[in-house]
Amino acid sequence: MGFVTTRDGNEIFYKDWGSGPPVVFIHGWPLNADAWEDQMKLVADNGYRGIAHDRRGHGRSSQPFDGYDFDTFADDLNDLVNELDLRDATLVAHSMGGGELARYIGRHGTGRVRKVVLLSAITPSMLQTEDNPDGVPQQALEDIKNGLMHERSQFWKDASEGFFSANRPGNKVTQGNRDAFWFMGMHESLQAGVKCVDAFGFTDFHEDLRKFDVPTLIVHGDDDQIVPINATARKAAEIVPDAVLKVYEGSSHGIAMVPGDKERFNADLLDFLNGG
């Protein structure tokens, strides 16, 4: 574990486990690097070097008042990659992290990248528009910000239900999953929480995806209640050349954490890392 100082003087916390080809995990909102512990151990146990960082405003990283946009997030990731001198890295990103990954490639290219995994990612666009009718309505984004401002602790407790599809019959979500979500959410600053809603809700990543030129795996649950699959994964798979799309039937937004889905994703991730 350590910290990287960004070009604007902020501190980005990261975990660094194992040795071998690097696998960089990029978390979603409002989580942090802890969300990837199962996958970090998986790759470290199988001959890879797992690295996961806390986005600025999240977890143990600096919590500045400004800088919550995807150009800044991508440049923070670039600072981390350069400081650790990572080469031939596989980037694995969840939810909002998919936007961070896409913008990183859009701004910095794939010179240090070997493969890419987009898990329940927001790319290419979250917002509901005439061209993206399956997206998230703007009012829903405003409701999220209002919920955070009203009472964020209860908001995170309530939000964990939809995040993990705990409201579905026969779900395998544990109370521990929901508690961990709340705990990580409470370690995100309120300013970051609100500003990130604008960032992931209104940023378009079509041009970034068109710059992908490495093997890409896209994984998404068809019961994702946070990031609709038809607005994101299915469209991303059409944009990224030769992308492989795997749809998990009945699965939620929190695939990497929920028992059953987690093991399936871990197996798919390891197969993708080991293949070619």
Q: Select 2-274's CATH number: 2.40.30.170, 1.20.1070.10, 3.90.1570.30, 3.40.50.1820.
A: 3.40.50.1820
pLDDT for position 180 = 98
Q: Give me the active site residues, please.
A: 95, 224, 253
Q: Is 203 helix (H, G, I), strand (E, B) or coil?
A: coil
Rounding to the nearest 10 degrees, give the CA dihedral for residues 237, 177, 196, 66.
-130
pLDDT score of 1: 75
For residue 124 the two structure tokens come to 């290419």
pLDDT tens digits in sequence order for the chain, 276 residues long: 799 999 999 999 999 999 999 999 999 999 999 999 999 999 999 999 999 999 999 999 999 999 999 999 999 999 999 999 999 999 999 999 999 999 999 999 999 999 999 999 999 999 999 999 999 999 999 999 999 999 999 999 999 999 999 999 999 999 999 999 999 999 999 999 999 999 999 999 999 999 999 999 999 999 999 999 999 999 999 999 999 999 999 999 999 999 999 999 999 999 999 995
Q: Where are the domains of the chain?
A: 2-274
Contacts of 160 (CB under 8 A, 6+ apart): 166, 177, 178, 181, 182
Fill in the DSSP letter of residue 61. Answer: S
Residue for token digits 């996961």? 52
Report helix, strand or coil for 135.
coil
